[in-house]
Structure 1
Amino acid sequence: MTSGTSQTISVNTTPAGAECEFLRQGMPIGSIASTPGSLVVRRSKHDITINCSKDGYEDASFYNNSGLAAAVGANIAVDVLLTAGLSSIIDSAQGADNEYESMVTLTLRPEKGTEKVQDAGDQPSSDDVADAAEKAPAGSMKPIENP
């Protein structure tokens, strides 16, 4: 066998604290309540979709392709010599010769309308300046001279 029939997949998100659901063939196979976190999954020839969500942010997804583990080729060559390929057949049937991306990083974007963007040309209104002047201790504000 290459490295067993299960594998840990770790998920980090920016910002942290997202909830992530793991789906294989459209069916839930597990979840992470709050990122960063990890989930142990059964290896399979089927890909996994990881969907992450957090209040105030757009959902983000990662398609985790089930590919052959790097050690499979060497293991098969040795296995053919020692067991006539029997253990490689078992590994393949159990999905142990497949491997997923073990570290996944996703960035969640703020939902539209929840992020205040300030342009470089934005200036405080005269009301903002007057409010600040009222709240400042007496004598702490000095006029700025224009050049």
Structure 2
Amino acid sequence: MSDNWTPPEGSWASSAARRRNMQAIRSRDTTPERLIRRLVHAQGLRYRVGARPLADLRRTADMVFRPTKIAVFIDGCYWHGCPEHYVSPKTNPGYWSDKVARNMARDRDTDQRLTEAGWTVLRFWEHEPSEDCAARIAAEVEKRRTAIRSTKPDS
């Protein structure tokens, strides 16, 4: 790329290199997601990946357990504003801080909408131990399955 590169109209990229870097960031199938999914799958649990819990809500969960109405999100520390690890960027901090704030507000809105629809929302930070996340997911799925079985009339 030439030194006189200018970002496209309305672009968030401060340079061509930054644009390439940001475009390469995965929105699904991150390493923490894959690790947790593998551990949950090894426990015999099945789920949907990158699915919408609610058809009319244009948001996807990382793992969806439809029968038990459990939506799992594994949030990246930077993109979702982890209180332990988020550091405001040095370049274009106003834009990125606003972006992260919007992501956090959308996360709270998603949690509220799913909860109101009878779903259990489980959120984990990418830095949390995968084994702990998988154990909490499995425990919640079993708890919800037990609750569903106890409310069904005997046949």
Do these two structures clear the TM 0.5 threshold for a shared fold by scoring above it? no
Higher percent of residues as strand: 1
- For CA contacts below 8 A with separation 6 or more, give which structure has more relative contact order: 1
